[in-house]
Chain A
Amino acid sequence: TQLLEQSPQFLSIQEGENLTVYCNSSSVFSSLQWYRQEPGEGPVLLVTVVTGGEVKKLKRLTFQFGDARKDSSLHITAAQPGDTGLYLCAGALSQTGANNLFFGTGTRLTVIP
């Protein structure tokens, strides 16, 4: 069992559709980050959320941190082929000490033109 479970694991949708990716845990995180990874490259940070209930928007992407800071969601509106990639959530368990991020199990998104 992984610390952070993402669902769905795979998602294939048509261009223009909306989708939501979930990141869940039984642990409380001091912050949570979302990354996107494309084939042959390393993950790239999309957003960091730190406050329970926080909502951040990045163009068509909306990120929410759960009130209890145990879960997060990523909603994409009107998905584009350029949104295709592996989406990873990553949680930090401590505010001090090492920047030890635990990554989620990943959601592989394919947007079909």
Chain B
Amino acid sequence: DAGVTQSPTHLIKTRGQQVTLRCSPKSGHDTVSWYQQALGQGPQFIFQYYEEEERQRGNFPDRFSGHQFPNYSSELNVNALLLGDSALYLCASSSRDRGFQPQHFGDGTRLSIL
């Protein structure tokens, strides 16, 4: 039973560029949430998707956008990258039928902005 998988594992970009991160949920899950974890801090909620729509959003600018596909996988897009976007980006999946809890996390994508 595959867990949550994220790709790529590491990524290096420069300021102003755009990036796309990908997430495949755990088998049987239909909901994906994205979190940003800056170095030395706890993760912060970016947004959640189910039924291919953004359902809830944290305090992040519009440069952060997402998408969910019919197979429940998801992408996180960040435009106009800033140095402060350097972080570990975590994807979590859950099942709407089970009240969205618990959330299962992938190992993350570490994004470095030069």
A and B associate in one complex: no
